[in-house]
Homo-oligomer: A and B are copies of this chain.
Amino acid sequence: MDPLLHHMNQYVTIDESGFADIRDSFSLLHFDKKDYLLRAGDVCSRYFFVLSGCLHMYFIDEHGVSKTVQFALENWWITDLQAFRKNAESTFFIQAVEASHVMCINAGRYAELCQTNLAFANYMREINEIGYGAALKRIRLMFDDSKEEIYTRFKDSFPQFIQRVPQYLLASFLGLTPEYLSKLRAKEVS
């Protein structure tokens, strides 16, 4: 079964024939490791669904340091939502952490599908509610005083990330220095 259809069926009811119109709205893309799906300064016109691999979204701070705000593994959606909604230039980069297969839909077709297809509209509502809820939880964690706790909670919630994502990107995402994350992980092993 199509991975997107399979994922949609976890949230809404849709069959193969109802899905045809949705599938035709997407393009299939392959990216090698380190390839860019979006660069700061580009108009952000695409919403990505990951079939395989791993992506991250980051920005470069005033000191020239890359900071990861989001990852996406299989069955995750990723884009710079504010720029995508306005068809505006992004200030983020989206890059492949691993070689990745991705489906993407452009902003115009996305809006059309949502306006005509109740199952797709509800699926995307749910996807964005989940993302929004997770972002609020992350804001809460970032408020937390204990850096060690940030790592421990993340590890318990998303064990698959700890295995797959390079340590320097994980540190960036968690707001830790790579050296400090390294110490935490060494403490676990001992």
Chain A residues engaging chain B, CB cutoff 8 angstroms? 59, 61-63, 67, 69-70, 80-82, 85, 114-115, 118, 121-122, 124-125, 128-140, 142-146, 175
Do the beta carbons of A134 and B82 come within 8 Å of each other? yes
Do the beta carbons of A136 and B61 come within 8 Å of each other? no
Do the beta carbons of B82 and A137 come within 8 Å of each other? yes
Q: Which residue of B lies closest to A122 (CB)?
A: B121
Do the beta carbons of A136 and B81 come within 8 Å of each other? yes
In whole angstroms, how far apart are the Cα atoms of A125 and B129 in the complex? 8
Do the beta carbons of B62 and A140 come within 8 Å of each other? no
Integer count of this chain's copies in the complex:
2
Do the beta carbons of B138 and A128 come within 8 Å of each other? no
Which of B85, B125, B136 interacts with A133 by CB under 8 Å?
A: B85
Do the beta carbons of B128 and A129 come within 8 Å of each other? yes
In whole angstroms, how far apart are the Cα atoms of A28 and B54 in the complex? 45
Which of B81, B118, B139, B175 interacts with A129 by CB under 8 Å?
A: B81
Identify 27 residue pairs between A and B in the complex whose beta-carbon atoms are under 8 Å apart, listed by A's number.
A61-B145, A62-B144, A63-B145, A67-B143, A69-B136, A69-B139, A69-B143, A80-B136, A81-B129, A81-B133, A82-B137, A85-B130, A85-B133, A114-B125, A115-B118, A115-B122, A118-B118, A121-B121, A121-B122, A122-B125, A128-B129, A128-B132, A135-B135, A135-B138, A135-B139, A142-B142, A142-B175
Do the beta carbons of B62 and A146 come within 8 Å of each other? yes
Do the beta carbons of A143 and B81 come within 8 Å of each other? no
In whole angstroms, how far apart are the Cα atoms of A69 and B133 in the complex? 12
Contacts of A142 in B (CB 8 A): 139, 142, 175
Contacts of A82 in B (CB 8 A): 133-134, 136-137
Q: Which residue of B lies closest to A13 (CB)?
A: B115
In whole angstroms, how far apart are the Cα atoms of A156 and B143 in the complex? 23
